[in-house]
Amino acid sequence: MKKIQFYGIWVYALLCLILVISYKFYTGMFETKVMEYNLSLWIALAINLILLITSIMSIKSSKILAILGIIFSPLSTYLFFISWTEMNYQYLAGFIVLPVILLLLTLVKKNSLTSIELIEEKK
């Protein structure tokens, strides 16, 4: 697993957390309209672009994580945007689940790599 993939997912998850906290305490800030769309769409899009770019860059090192990142990126943008515009927290829950899944897979992947390295060292 490439460093960039781990950091990409970690930064994406952190930004998702910041975005959801902003949603909670500064809900009104997403009202600002840029090119006919609320700021909720543009911020979510910017954050998910980080995930998309790092996923594409690391597609050779871990295919599952990269493909999931590419699929999750537009889905995550949509979930946040629709959650804010429709004020439906079920979509927001979906938005939080995506980085949790990616972090979980990252941990599993790292754990398996560490185990293989330890076995090789013992040999």
Partner 1 sequence: MPSVYALGLSPLELDITVEKGKETEVVKNIQVSNPSEDPIHIVGSVSGTVAQFITLDPIEFDLPTGPGLKSTDPRPYKYVTVVFKVPREVSETKYNGEIIFTQQPVAGGMIGTAAQLGVAVRLNIGTMAAAEFPIYVNAMLVILVLFLIISIIFYTRRKK
* Residues at the site binding partner 1, with contacts judged by CB under 8 A: 6, 10, 13-14, 16-17, 20-21, 23-31, 38, 87, 89, 92-93, 96-97, 99-100, 103-104, 106-107, 110-111, 114
In the complex, minimum distance from the CB of residue 91 to partner 1, in angstroms, rounded to a whole number: 10
In the complex, minimum distance from the CB of residue 16 to partner 1, in angstroms, rounded to a whole number: 7
Exposure string over 40-61, b if 16+ CB within 10 A, otherwise e:
bbbbbbebbebbbebbeebbee
Q: Which is nearer to partner 1, 57 or 94 (CB)?
A: 94
In the complex, minimum distance from the CB of residue 25 to partner 1, in angstroms, rounded to a whole number: 5
The Cβ of residue 120 has, within 10 Å, a number of other Cβ atoms equal to: 8
In the complex, minimum distance from the CB of residue 26 to partner 1, in angstroms, rounded to a whole number: 5
Element (H, E) at 43: helix 39-57
Q: Which is nearer to partner 1, 73 or 99 (CB)?
A: 99
The CA distance from 75 to 88, in Å, is: 16
Strands (E), 65-109: none
